[in-house]
Amino acid sequence: MGGTYTDAVFIHDNHIERTAKVPTQSDNLVETLMEAFDKLAIPDEQALNQITVSTTLVTNAILQNRIPPIEMLLFSGNGMRIDALPWPVSYHELSGEMDFRGRETEPTDPTEWEKLLTLHLRENPANVAIVGKFSHRNSLHEEQLATYLRRINPSLRIAFGHTWGQANFHRRSLTTYLNLGVTDIYYDFAQQLQSAISARKILAPISILKADGGIVPIAKLRPIESIYSGPAASILAALTQNEPTASTIIVDIGGTTTDIGLVLSGVPLLSSKGAKIGPYSTLVRSLAVRSIPVGGDSAIRTTDQGFVLESYRLGPAYCLGGTLPTPTDAMRYLGLIDYGNERLAEEGLATLLPVERRTHECLQELASAIIDSVSEKIAAAVDSLKQEWQEEPAYKVWEVLHPQESHTFQTLVSGGGARGMAVALKKRLKTSVLLGLYPEVSNALGAAMAKPTMDCTLHLDTYMKRYRVEETGEQGTWSGTLRPHREVESFLDTLAQQMAKSYGMTLEDVEKEPFDFFPIVKGYKTVGQIVRGAVHLRPGVIGRIHV
Amino acid sequence: MKRTGILFFPAFDWSLGESHPEREERLLYTQEQLFEEGILDLPQIKQYSPRVATLHQGLRTQAIFPNPGSYKDSLDPHLIAAGSAILLGEARVRGDIANGFVLARPPGHHSGATVWGNRGFCTLNYEAILVNHLRARFGIKKIAIVDTDVHHGDGTQDIFYHDPNVLFISLHQDGRTIYPGTGFVNEKGGPNAWDQTLNIPLPPGTGDEGYLYVLENWVLPRLKAFAPELIINSAGQDNHFTDPLGAMKLTANGYGRITELLRPDLAVLEGGYSIEGALPYVNLAILLALAGEDYHHVHEPQKQDSPALSLAALKPYFEALKHQHQTIQPRFTSQSKTYFPKGKWIYNPHSIYYDTEGFQETRHDYIRECSECGGTVYIESSLSSQKSGLVRIPFQACSACEQAGYDLWDHLHHHSADNANGLLQNQLHDKLTVWNKKEGLSEF
């Protein structure tokens, strides 16, 4: 789903059989989806194996601030001032602190808790988010407060920070808040969609596309993880048209926005930080994508120095009946595309020049300059993305001595402006350029071909006898040895298998990160180990599309 | 926006031994703390990724004996720490950042002008390598180094002892009570750089109050008088009251205040071995102070079990120390060899113990007294039967000293019977020549 249109694609044996496009009704997404589904006119609906949806539901709910009231209760502890980072939500700070290994350094103070009990919290099924600094190390304080609150009001809906098991108290707090805030909206949607599909006696499971480019069964999604699935879908769509191990710069040129991503030896680059949505920094894993406000329909205005590409759209291109010249008019004038009225393109561009310079030569020059200016903006975003990748921090000697291998990139351009920009991008990016197929349904194509992703990161402290799993927030007791080797490998395997099972997926092509072992020393004696290890099911596609 | 650079390189796959204080675990909890605080999300903080220094950058400052090749593998982590310091230093000089924190392992400030191995957990001195890099590449003339590690920065002192353009100040626990046993007020600099080294030994038990008093009343005025273009802080964290090696009583907040007062262009981690009780909090406080954020809410969970020495008790000690420092007069011995170029050569024989390796280096240092420049330095260094020589032509060398350097170098690799290795450190032209009896000359 996009803001304006919703695309659909029906794929059989890696062939695109049907495509469809319908306008998005932002107040009824399920109806929109079913309309697109109907428009595909799939011959034997009941024989479908899989339905995948990429939706803007959660993104829009957040950006339009459709979040119900949530009581945010924080064990914020000492350290950096809490307001050093922006908090777009209000919160209460409570006593109680853990340290970086999950040891309690200050107990909670239940006398403070009584003061929280407004009538709303006492009686209504209110939303409460409880987050503690280092709660991903030890959830004790969060659990204590929840137990207290539930005893007073069992109908409370409580979300815990520790279920987002990565470090970063600020992001963990906002992620917990947002996820709770969109839960109702999402589950209503999921239920309606499931009923609509079930009503047609279709048994195929429904999956949702996540920001990291992976899919997950509709009932298992943590709603916040579905933000930014659109750009992820564009990247996956490109993967379906590529050699499996190619390194590719992906440029998806839309009407007002261009999305840019990187694929390294067949694997899309993940962002090293969690996604940011509106004013909220989160822990949501997402593909590294740059979205820049430039596209085929960007308005162009004259200035003293010539022209400027605006970051907005004011209707369609001049050559398609609009009122302002756009890059699309430049493409049309230069004959790079064949849609739109050629005479109107000329007329539109001419408005950017003084009367005496409205010659063919000057118009040619202007149109080329417009195209170059678009490709310059795209190239700057490509460079910034490459820089992010190359400058990822390294924390080990080995990593510094073995830097990222260099890749020979090709560029895959898709979207409405693809054909018009191909030559200019080839020149500016100095790579070969391929045109993406099916630009009109690339989001749907990417979603349909997406594979499940899964990450299972184990942190084990054998001295504290505690382990935890970053992705689920699971915390447990370790009963194994103080210095495990083989033991910890099979332990992680078991955890990963359990996680996979809970998502109803099988673990194939798993990437295992080498374990890090940190001996814990007390008084010059080794008393235990901290062990970190992870398995990943990286984002990818189930196959290549045959034309 | 005033930006603060951070280069966090915890070297999670390197140690000096499994239970050694300088081990993989050392910055693990600091990482947890910094990440959990979300400090890297502050808009003014910019994280950099590490880089490896070249041997040229190392040899410009330190003679690596018997030859750099003999260390090949084990130099890597040290070259990364040095390269990281250089990267952030360049960012500072270019104006990309207003200040920065090189939060890297391993440390370096015990490593001196000549290197035979690891001592005091240090092999290469990365503040010194950084300082000379910025001078060589960016033409910076005056730099001050303030060493706030609990141990005397003897290696840094050794490297800059004859350099009139580098002010070296070290505040540390009294050398009579702690490694390396040096850093007394009478160590004030060589003949051409007298009073450019300031050592302030502090009694064990000194806390925030006493430390900050010395900083405000002695260190800051001295810095102001020198007017350096850059201030580098060797930010060791072993003055913290929980440190297992030191006996001082500083707190994380105290370190925040030190940083705020010193306003270093770059802070560089040195020692600090209370990896759970101090480092996560001290590193956080330093970084917050550099970034202009409030550090007063940073509290280490542990409480001091006994109070620090009171300022009233310390003041008389400081007064006496300052008086002693002011009244000390230079006393140098001059001595030269028959083949020495003309001039007055100051002679200083001494030895350096490598505690990590368990061996002792014998040094004979000769400095050409000069009123125009830092003076050419000639160091004969030996480890048991291996003899090596270092000739250093300093930055801004006068022509007489430059010529003296070439003459000595010529003698070293042509006529000296007992030397097996040598380094010509021509800082004036940034040219480095390594000589080896078997392999001859090579440029680095």
Residues 6 or more apart whose CB falls under 8 angstroms from that of A418 comprise: A251, A253, A435, A436, A439
Continuous H helices in A259-394: 327-333, 342-350, 360-390
CB contact under 8 A, A395 and B19: no
- Show the 3-state SS of A221-266: CCHHHHCCHHHHHHHHHHHCCCCCCCEEEEEEECCCCEEEEEEECC
Best of A137, A166, A273, A397 to disrupt the B interface by mutation (most B CBs within 10 Å)? Answer: A397
Q: Which one is catalytic: B78, B109, B110, B413?
A: B110
What count of other Cβ atoms lies within 10 Å of the Cβ of residue B434? 23
| Inter-chain touch B24–A401, beta carbons under 8 Å | no
Supply φ then ψ for residue B42, to 5 degrees. -60, 135
Q: Report yes or no: A79 at the B interface, CB cutoff 8 Å.
A: yes
CB–CB contact B41 A525 (8 Å): no
Kindly list the domain boundaries of chain B, sorted by start residue.
Answer: 4-327, 333-443
Element containing residue A42 per DSSP (H, E): none
B110 is catalytic: yes
Q: Is residue A319 part of a domain?
A: yes
Q: Name the closest residue on chain A to residue B11, using Cα atoms.
A: A396
Residues A431 and A520 in one domain: no
Q: Chain B within 8 Å of A464 (Cβ-Cβ)?
A: no
Q: Is A511 helix (H, G, I), strand (E, B) or coil?
A: strand
How does residue A407 score in pLDDT terms, banded at 50, 70 and 90? confident
- Closest residue by Cα to residue A283 from A173, A140, A127, A130: A173
User: Is the CB of residue A264 less than 8 Å away from at least one CB of chain B?
Assistant: no
Residue A150 dihedral angles phi and psi, to the nearest 5°: -70, -30
Q: How confident is the model at residue B73 (pLDDT cuts 50, 70, 90)?
A: low
Last residue of a domain, one of A194, A212, A227: A227
For chain B, list residues whose CB is within 8 angstroms of any CB belonging to chain A.
8-14, 18-19, 23-25, 28-29, 31-33, 35-39, 41-42, 47-52, 76-77, 80, 276, 280, 284, 288, 293-294, 297-299, 301
Backbone angles phi, psi at A38, to 5 degrees: -65, -40
- Which residues of chain A does B33 touch, with a Cβ-Cβ cutoff of 8 Å? 79, 100
| A18 secondary structure, DSSP code | E
What are the distances in angstroms from CA B434 to CA B90, B341, B413? 26, 21, 10
Residue A483 and residue A522 in one domain? yes
Tell me how crowded residue B72 is: count the other CB atoms within 10 A of its CB: 8
A415 with A484, same domain? no
Q: Which CATH number fits domain B4-327: 3.40.50.10540, 3.30.365.10, 3.40.50.300, 3.40.800.20?
A: 3.40.800.20
Pairing of strands A215-217, A247-253: unpaired
Alpha helix ranges (H) inside B23-141: 28-37, 55-59, 76-94, 126-138
* Residue A132 domain boundaries: 44-227
- Largest Cα–Cα separation, chain A: 86
Note whether B41 contacts A170, CB cutoff 8 Å: yes
A33-53 residues labelled b (16+ CB within 10 A) or e (exposed): bbbbbeebebeebeebeebbb
Predicted local distance difference test score (pLDDT) of residue B215: 98
- DSSP code for B349: E
Asked if A29 and A189 touch (Cβ cutoff 8 Å), the reply is: yes
Q: What residues in B contact A133, CB-CB < 8 Å?
A: 36
Q: Counting Cβ atoms within 10 Å, is residue A530 exposed (0-12), middle (13-18) or buried (19+)?
A: buried
Taking CA–CA distances from B9, the nearest residue in chain A reads A395
Note whether A424 and A468 are same-domain residues.
no
Minimal-distance CA residue of chain A relative to B84: A400
Hey, of B13, B22, B37, B40, which one would you mutate to test binding to chain A, going by the most A CBs within 10 A of its CB?
B37
- Regarding whether A98 and A208 lie in a shared domain, the answer is yes
B166: which strand partners? B143
Mean pLDDT computed over A81-107: 97
Q: Which residue has the tokens 């010509």?
A: B424
Element (H or E) spanning B422, and its range?
A: strand B421-426
Residues of B in contact with A106 (CB under 8 A): 301
Contact flag B36-A134 (C-beta cutoff 8 Å): yes
- Asked whether residue A279 is assigned to any structural domain, the reply reads no
Closest CA to B200 of B331, B322, B330: B322
DSSP B69: G
Query: Token pair of B338, please?
Result: 């028959």
The answer to whether residue A14 sits within a structural domain is no
- Mark yes or no for CB contact B293/A516 under 8 Å: no
- The number of C-alpha atoms within 13 Å of A542 and in the hemisphere containing its C-beta is 17
Q: Cβ separation of B10 and A85 shorter than 8 Å?
A: no
pLDDT, position A233: 93
Q: What is the predicted pLDDT for the residue at A171?
A: 98
Residues A165 and A220 in one domain: yes
Peptide bond into A244 cis (omega under 30): no
In angstroms, the CA B415 to CA B394 distance is 23
| Chain A residue numbers touching B36 (CB-CB < 8 A) | 100, 133-134, 167-169
pLDDT tens digits for range B363-390: 999 999 999 999 999 999 999 889 999 9
Chain A residues in contact with B9 (beta carbon < 8 A) = 394-395, 400
- By C-alpha distance, which of A180, A186, A173, A279 is closest to A229? A186
With a pLDDT cut of 70, the percent of chain B lying above it is 100
B275 min Cα distance to partner chain A (Å)? 10
pLDDT in tens, A216-262: 999 999 999 999 998 999 999 999 998 888 999 999 998 888 999 99
Q: Do A169 and B50 touch (CB under 8 A)?
A: no
Q: Which two tokens stand for residue B399?
A: 């022509």
Q: With contacts defined as CB-CB under 8 Å, which chain B residues touch A167?
A: 32, 35-36
**A431 with A489, same domain?**
no
Alpha helices of A451-543 — where are they, by DSSP H?
A: 486-502
A499 phi, psi to nearest 5 deg: -65, -45
Tell how strand B143-147 and strand B63-64 pair up: unpaired
Find the mean pLDDT for residues B13-27: 90
Asked if A223 and A342 sit in the same domain, the reply is no
Tell me, yes or no, whether A367 lies in a domain.
Answer: yes
> Are residue A222 and residue A323 in the same domain, yes or no?
no
**Contact between B284 and A79 using a beta-carbon 8 Å cutoff:** yes
Confidence category of residue B72, pLDDT binned at 50, 70, 90: low
The model's pLDDT over B117-148, given as tens digits with 9 standing for 90+, comes to 999 999 999 999 999 999 999 999 999 999 99
- A161: closest CA of chain B, how far (Å): 12
Please count the CA atoms within 13 angstroms of the CA of B267 that sit on its side-chain side: 32
Per residue in A202-216, pLDDT (tens digit) is 999 999 999 999 999
User: How sure is the predictor about B232, in pLDDT bands with cuts at 50, 70 and 90?
Assistant: very high
Q: What is the average pLDDT across B259-284?
A: 97
The answer to whether residue A370 is domain-embedded is yes
Crossing angle for the helix pair A29-40 and A169-198, to the nearest 10 degrees: 50
Sequence-distant (6+) residues with CB within 8 A of B108 are B78, B81, B82, B122, B123, B124, B125, B126, B127, B128, B129, B155, B270
In the prediction, which pLDDT does B351 show?
Answer: 96
**Number of compact structural domains in chain A:** 3
pLDDT tens per residue across span A30-82: 999 999 999 999 999 999 999 999 998 999 899 999 999 999 999 999 999 99
pTM metric for this prediction: 0.94
The verdict on residue A212 lying in a domain is: yes
Sign of CA dihedral A403, A408, A412, A418: positive
Cα distance between residue A28 and residue A458, in whole Å: 41
> Are residues A459 and A430 both part of a single domain?
no
Calculate what percentage of chain A has a pLDDT beyond 70. 100
Q: Quick check: A519 and B24 CB within 8 A?
A: yes
Contacts of A258 (CB under 8 A, 6+ apart): A251, A252, A291, A292, A294, A295, A377, A378, A381, A415, A417
Task: Compare CB distances from B36 to A168, A281, A396 and report the shortest one's residue.
Answer: A168
Q: Which of A278, A300, A274 is nearest to A288 (CA)?
A: A274
How high does pLDDT run on average in chain A? 93
**A175 and A52 within one domain:** yes
Tell me the average pLDDT of chain B. Answer: 95
Quote the crossing angle between the two packed helices A360-390 and A418-429, to the nearest 10°.
60
Contact by Cβ (8 Å): B152, B172: yes
A356 in a structural domain: yes
Q: Within a domain: residue A39?
A: no
The dihedral of CA A360, A366, A367, A369: what is its sign?
positive
The minimal CB distance from B50 to the residues A85, A400, A516 is found for A400
Residue B173 has φ and ψ, to the nearest 5°, of: -65, 135
Is A520 near chain B, with CB under 8 Å? yes
- pLDDT for B398-422, tens place per residue? 999 999 999 999 999 888 778 889 9
A468: contact with B, CB 8 A cutoff? no
Residue pLDDT, tens place only, A333-383: 999 998 899 999 999 999 999 999 999 999 999 999 999 999 999 999 999
How many residue pairs from chains A and B have C-beta atoms closer than 8 A? 119
Q: Looking at the partner chain, which of A99, A168, A281 has a beta carbon nearest the beta carbon of B35? A: A168
pLDDT at B385: 87
Chain A 160-219, residues with CB within 8 Å of chain B CB atoms: 167-171
Reduced to 3 states, what is the DSSP secondary structure of residue B346?
strand
- CA of A383 to nearest chain B CA: how many angstroms apart? 17
Q: If DSSP codes are grouped into helix, strand and coil, which group holds residue B301?
A: coil
Is residue A494 located within the same domain as residue A407? no
Residues from chain A contacting residue B19 (CB–CB below 8 Å): 519, 521, 524-526
Rounded distance between C-alpha atoms, residue A272 and residue A517, angstroms: 22
Chain A residue numbers touching B301 (CB-CB < 8 A): 97, 99, 105-106
Torsion of CA B387, B393, B398, B403, to 10 degrees: 50
ipTM: 0.94
